[in-house]
Structure 1
């Protein structure tokens, strides 16, 4: 008899193992996220027509999903430490009566990997007592049953469980050596005759094979003689710097730039990084779930940096939670720290994860690192200042030749003073929960005090208006200072218009998430409120002269005169009023949601 709760638990475990959110699984199955939630809580079973696709996505047979045994192979990877093949689906079909017996000399594995390196199978399996890890070398027998308890998942630090030096034909145990070397906490070491002497009469290539545990699971890495093994800065992972890793470039990353519908460089870079990880989302959703669509910031000294999404409020934490990610930061590193951090950048790229970085080229705006050349000594990027370079050098043959080598990316000019690393970590919460979290951020961010010389929320809008109406300053200002203030003003208006446009798009797209009629009515009013704000801001911003026009004009004070500044101040006052109405609606929505 089919037990819906057991089926639901199995689906949830396997979905998380595939690092899929409920929304992502639902999208692949062409069902709603609510349907997936009902399966996982045992309130319903998948439709018969959905089962074949569900089986394919999760890598388990239909029988193992509907009649789950106590022993489940969560992942099985056949590898030589350099290449790997996922064989989870096939191995799971061999589980019979809560027992897995498998010879790694089986013909199935022949031809999966073409190398002379030693080969092995890494297995993660679940039983009623927990999740465990094990490995077996080629030619050996795998035997796992419901009572097996090999290595428990969740090892707090990197621990070696196997180390051998040799190749597929022969190898010798060097685990004791590796544990001895681990004592010295090297950041890297070269596989050579001094550390791993060859035996007399040995022929052919030799490789160091390391199998280790960490908090994520069980892993294998292999390195040829003369090449290097690196530890990541947190000493949680290893990777080999073989000849094939002298460069790594993530291809087909779209260009960034202002005027492309992503005028918040932080959100644009973040969206680009998420897309490279295979997370399907939109720029406006990133702005929405982070709360950056509600932002308002201003520096009374009139600085461009006020347009940075993170200038006066932390919008990173909510967006990380909304996408089920784990984030790592590296800020203002010393020259010695940068040498080690370069390895983290390289490792992130090898896992198809683009580091988000501040101040890559020209000026301190956000972008992404897209690859590296020359063993990491040259980094490649997409930044918000690339288009000018592409336009200026489009006919330069030397530049075009360099672009072929870099796959169309420009070189990083500055070591970034902020780096953000992202990786999948846990479940993605329901989109409705993220919407409510965003509304709570709105209520907090608009009342925030700011800091570090920035005003936030309503204080920012008021300070900005005050600066626009300070006629004594504009009368006394010289032409250069006047033009700079206008340029800052134009940049900040771009950021505000982009934020409120994103808010309108995000709210309208979220209407379909709401089932409660009272909440739906309030959401419709709030969406209309921000659509009105979007129209007002977009219309005004599009009518503003470009800073270059003001720069070239003989009388810039005639273009940006008292009347235009007064109209902008009035617009900001109107925006503040509409935002306050938005606060009232957000508070009412959250109150009604709590009553459900």
Structure 2
């Protein structure tokens, strides 16, 4: 019999393990935060339709959530201290009657690590007496039950539980050396044969492997001779700093730029990062499966940021789910946290999992981190403002020489306030399921409430129209304010035009999906968005942008009352077409049994 209290406790534990608030989990599940609270307090159970997505987000099978055993694996990581794979869901399948027995070798896990480093499985698990950690080396047996004495998780400084020097074929236990060195409270140390003597019969490269526990769980870090290991200021974590000659650059990442049919900087950056990972997709598909192709946002202060896809609605979660991506976000982290994050960025780059971030250069738009120089002291990137720099320095020999070193990338000038790293890939939904999810996002976002001062959907279109028709403001505004509003309007209209172009292309592509009963509705929806783009594109092309204002005596001559009236009428027409799009989206979802 299912116990609502036990299920609620398990959901709460797993949510916290994923570092999600109730509100964040609710948003990913498209339910209210109150619903999540009721689950966790045992007042109700999740709806059956919610369980597959809840299972995916929490990394546990539906059975493990609804029929929780007393022994649960909270996290299982297969690693060599450099490359890591999350195998939590897989390992949990071996928990039977509150016993976990697992033999680790090259054939028992769905992932392979092709290195000569020592490999191991790290386990964080929970039993009634508390939360503990364990590990097992390659070609060894792991056995955990309710009476197992695992490693406690200290609340302060890290504690070493295993240390070895050598490689997969030949290594020695150096725990006594690490305890000795830890006594001196070094902030960092460099791996040398003076500190860690090599075995005389070891003919391969030597690696230091350190396994430690802290408040968050169990961790492993591995490095080569010459690398430096640092403690974080609170001495709760370790991170690796390679030699100053260390560099890694992923070549042939495509260019970004506005006016290149890729005007959503977040989707453009994600598209190129996906291509580097080997995912076959298009920019328009990224816009489609995320739901960003339906977006319209506007703030009455006419800020350029309204064009940012993620400024007021989460289109990222549907995209990551559609492409089977597990991600890590860093949001406005402190300077102390940046050194560790930089090491994680370097590891991602080496896997060709290029992070995307906002505010890398010039202005707060999204771009891609493409490589690093000088051991990570210099990060390289693609951004939406690169072409201007290339043009300005095309005759500069020093700049051109540096471009040979950086493989044509510019330096990251500013630490991004939001950065997304891509971790392991998981199973993807079908293309048809992604379409259904996208249409649901359309219906949700077009009627979404104002968020952080940004109006969304139909409210945004209405506020935008009202601002265009406020003739008294335009008559009394000074030139600077007028020019700023003109530029903001042009940028927002660019984003809307690009989004609806992407919607038409994405919908046209879906006509090839195996769902013949939906073809009629989809065909009509394609016509709606092609008509919408056909109205937006020529009008947007006719407007003066902020860069061209110098050709006018006054900015007020560059944007006339007649043009503003035409745009207001155009936005009203767009709203009517959007409503028809909503009707068709509802019919498609109803025919598929999704609503």
Q: Same fold (TM over 0.5)?
A: yes
Cα distance change on mapping 1:481 and 1:121 into 2, 3 Å: closer
Asked whether the equivalents of residues 258 and 384 of structure 2 are also in contact (C-alpha less than 8 Å), the reply is yes
1:209-246 Cα shifts (integer Å, max 9, x gaps): 4276999999883421x422468999999875444862
C-alpha deviation, 1:205, in angstroms: 10
Correspondences of 1:295-310 after superposition (within 5 Å): 295-310=295-310
- 5+ long unaligned stretches in structure 1: 1-75, 85-99, 104-111, 125-131, 137-141
Instruction: Supply the distance in 2 between the matched residues of 1:244 and 1:217 (Cα, whole angstroms).
Output: 29
Instruction: Supply the distance in 1 between the matched residues of 2:263 and 2:371 (Cα, whole angstroms).
Output: 24
What's 1:266 paired with? 266
What's 1:496 paired with? 496
What's 1:221 paired with? 222
Asked whether the equivalents of residues 276 and 353 of structure 2 are also in contact (C-alpha less than 8 Å), the reply is yes
Asked whether the equivalents of residues 232 and 343 of structure 1 are also in contact (C-alpha less than 8 Å), the reply is no
C-alpha deviation, 1:325, in angstroms: 0.9
Stretch deviating more after TM superposition (203-212 or 261-270): 203-212
Instruction: Supply the distance in 1 between the matched residues of 2:212 and 2:278 (Cα, whole angstroms).
Output: 26
- 5+ long unaligned stretches in structure 2: 1-77, 85-102, 107-113, 123-133, 146-150
What's 1:291 paired with? 291
1:423-480 Cα shifts (integer Å, max 9, x gaps): 2331001111111000000000000113211111101001010011111011111222
Cα distance change on mapping 1:456 and 1:236 into 2, 3 Å: farther
Cα distance change on mapping 1:181 and 1:392 into 2, 3 Å: same
Cα distance change on mapping 1:187 and 1:440 into 2, 3 Å: farther
C-alpha deviation, 1:498, in angstroms: 0.3
1:478-516 Cα shifts (integer Å, max 9, x gaps): 222212211111111100000000100111101111424
Cα distance change on mapping 1:266 and 1:166 into 2, 3 Å: closer
What's 1:246 paired with? 246
Instruction: Supply the distance in 1 between the matched residues of 2:234 and 2:469 (Cα, whole angstroms).
Output: 52
Instruction: Supply the distance in 2 between the matched residues of 1:374 and 1:331 (Cα, whole angstroms).
Output: 25
1:306-363 Cα shifts (integer Å, max 9, x gaps): 1111122111111111111111111112222223322222222122111111111111
What's 1:128 paired with? none
What's 2:587 paired with? 588
C-alpha deviation, 1:191, in angstroms: 2.3
What's 1:19 paired with? none
C-alpha deviation, 1:375, in angstroms: 1.9
What's 1:570 paired with? 569
Instruction: Supply the distance in 1 between the matched residues of 2:329 and 2:183 (Cα, whole angstroms).
Output: 27
Instruction: Supply the distance in 1 between the matched residues of 2:446 and 2:516 (Cα, whole angstroms).
Output: 27
What's 1:57 paired with? none
C-alpha deviation, 1:547, in angstroms: 2.4
Instruction: Supply the distance in 2 between the matched residues of 1:399 and 1:242 (Cα, whole angstroms).
Output: 26
Cα distance change on mapping 1:407 and 1:595 into 2, 3 Å: closer
Correspondences of 1:55-70 after superposition (within 5 Å): none
What's 2:521 paired with? 522
Instruction: Supply the distance in 2 between the matched residues of 1:509 and 1:427 (Cα, whole angstroms).
Output: 22
Instruction: Supply the distance in 2 between the matched residues of 1:183 and 1:282 (Cα, whole angstroms).
Output: 54
Asked whether the equivalents of residues 256 and 383 of structure 2 are also in contact (C-alpha less than 8 Å), the reply is yes
What's 2:59 paired with? none
What's 1:462 paired with? 462
Instruction: Supply the distance in 1 between the matched residues of 2:235 and 2:320 (Cα, whole angstroms).
Output: 23
What's 2:537 paired with? 538
Asked whether the equivalents of residues 166 and 172 of structure 1 are also in contact (C-alpha less than 8 Å), the reply is yes
Report the secondary structure of 2:529's partner residue: helix
What's 1:485 paired with? 485
Cα distance change on mapping 1:560 and 1:270 into 2, 3 Å: same
Asked whether the equivalents of residues 166 and 202 of structure 2 are also in contact (C-alpha less than 8 Å), the reply is no
Instruction: Supply the distance in 2 between the matched residues of 1:565 and 1:82 (Cα, whole angstroms).
Output: 57
Asked whether the equivalents of residues 263 and 495 of structure 2 are also in contact (C-alpha less than 8 Å), the reply is yes
Cα distance change on mapping 1:203 and 1:487 into 2, 3 Å: closer
1:324 aligns with 2:318: no
What's 1:447 paired with? 447
Instruction: Supply the distance in 2 between the matched residues of 1:269 and 1:365 (Cα, whole angstroms).
Output: 10
Cα distance change on mapping 1:133 and 1:333 into 2, 3 Å: closer
Stretch deviating more after TM superposition (202-211 or 350-359): 202-211
Cα distance change on mapping 1:411 and 1:446 into 2, 3 Å: same
What's 2:414 paired with? 414
Cα distance change on mapping 1:190 and 1:262 into 2, 3 Å: same
Instruction: Supply the distance in 2 between the matched residues of 1:274 and 1:232 (Cα, whole angstroms).
Output: 32
What's 2:279 paired with? 279
What's 1:379 paired with? 379
TM-score, with structure 1 as normaliser: 0.69
Instruction: Supply the distance in 2 between the matched residues of 1:341 and 1:162 (Cα, whole angstroms).
Output: 24
C-alpha deviation, 1:555, in angstroms: 3.8
Stretch deviating more after TM superposition (489-498 or 557-566): 557-566
Instruction: Supply the distance in 1 between the matched residues of 2:233 and 2:279 (Cα, whole angstroms).
Output: 26
Correspondences of 1:189-204 after superposition (within 5 Å): 189-192=189-192, 196=195, 198=197
Report the secondary structure of 2:512's partner residue: helix
Instruction: Supply the distance in 2 between the matched residues of 1:462 and 1:174 (Cα, whole angstroms).
Output: 68
Correspondences of 1:132-151 after superposition (within 5 Å): none
Cα distance change on mapping 1:229 and 1:350 into 2, 3 Å: farther
Instruction: Supply the distance in 1 between the matched residues of 2:343 and 2:480 (Cα, whole angstroms).
Output: 44
CA RMSD in angstroms, aligned pairs only: 4.3
Asked whether the equivalents of residues 290 and 315 of structure 1 are also in contact (C-alpha less than 8 Å), the reply is yes
Asked whether the equivalents of residues 247 and 371 of structure 2 are also in contact (C-alpha less than 8 Å), the reply is yes
